[in-house]
Chains A and B, each alone.
Chain A
Amino acid sequence: EDQVTQSPEALRLQEGESSSLNCSYTVSGLRGLFWYRQDPGKGPEFLFTLYSAGEEKEKERLKATLTKKESFLHITAPKPEDSATYLCAVQGNNAGNMLTFGGGTRLMVKP
């Protein structure tokens, strides 16, 4: 059974204070690891898909990296508008398009 664990559950940062969110996973044959951002009352917004260990992707202040057991979402010099819940999910080779999600990290960036 695929499993995803995210840490920390909540993270408070000052504006400009860089940090990383962790996503640990076990999956029988990784097809892709997804990162999403979710604002309260809204659906998840797609950020990145990573496919293999060593891969990195960037978007504005966000950078996602992948190893064989973990993924990190690095946030550089965050702004208050980066406050949201960040979700990690995996898709296994035998799962169709099913995603298994972690519990998310709730990020709060204070000005």
Chain B
Amino acid sequence: KAGVTQTPRYLIKTRGQQVTLSCSPISGHRSVSWYQQTPGQGLQFLFEYFSETQRNKGNFPGRFSGRQFSNSRSEMNVSTLELGDSALYLCASSPQGISTEAFFGQGTRLTVV
């Protein structure tokens, strides 16, 4: 059974640009959550999608957005990139609407220069 797949693995972008990251959850999983991981702040919740609807949102500016497609695949977008957006972006998938299982992908390492 394939795990959570995130693409691309690495990205280098320039300040002011925008970026789109992709996450394919484990087959059959319907909930996708996104997290930002930095050395200073640790793992912080960005948002969660279930059945194409955003159910929860963390304390991040509106430059961070996401969506989920009917096949449960999810994308997150960051517009007007800032140096502080450099981080490891992680996606986690869960099988049900409310679940105590969450499995992470390998992440996308975003570097903003």
Q: Enumerate chain A interface residues (CB-CB to B < 8 A).
A: 31-32, 34, 36, 41-46, 49, 51, 87, 89, 91, 95-104
Contacts and interface: CB of A to CB of B under 8 A. Distances in A.
Contacts of B43: 44, 87, 89, 99, 101
Contact of A97 (B44, B94, B106, B107): B94
B33 interface: yes
Interface residues of B, number: 29
B39 to A, nearest CB: 10
Contact of B42 (A31, A42, A46, A104): A104
B106 A42 contact: yes
Interface in B22-70: 31, 33, 35, 42-45, 48, 50, 55-56, 58
Given A41-B88, A44-B43, 18 more contacts: A31-B98, A34-B102, A42-B107, A43-B6, A43-B90, A43-B105, A43-B106, A45-B104, A46-B103, A46-B104, A97-B48, A97-B92, A97-B99, A97-B102, A99-B33, A99-B35, A99-B92, A102-B42
Contact of B98 (A42, A51, A96, A104): A96
Contacts of B88: 41
A102 B99 CA distance: 20
A91 B92 CA distance: 14
Contact of B100 (A51, A87, A101, A103): A51
Contacts of A42: 106-107
Interface of B: 4, 6, 31, 33, 35, 42-45, 48, 50, 55-56, 58, 88, 90, 92, 94, 98-107, 109
A31 B100 contact: yes
Nearest to B41: A103
Contacts of A96: 31, 48, 50, 55-56, 98
Output the residue of A36, A91, A96 with the most chain B CB within 10 A.
A96
Nearest to A46: B103
Nearest to A43: B104
A93 B17 CA distance: 38
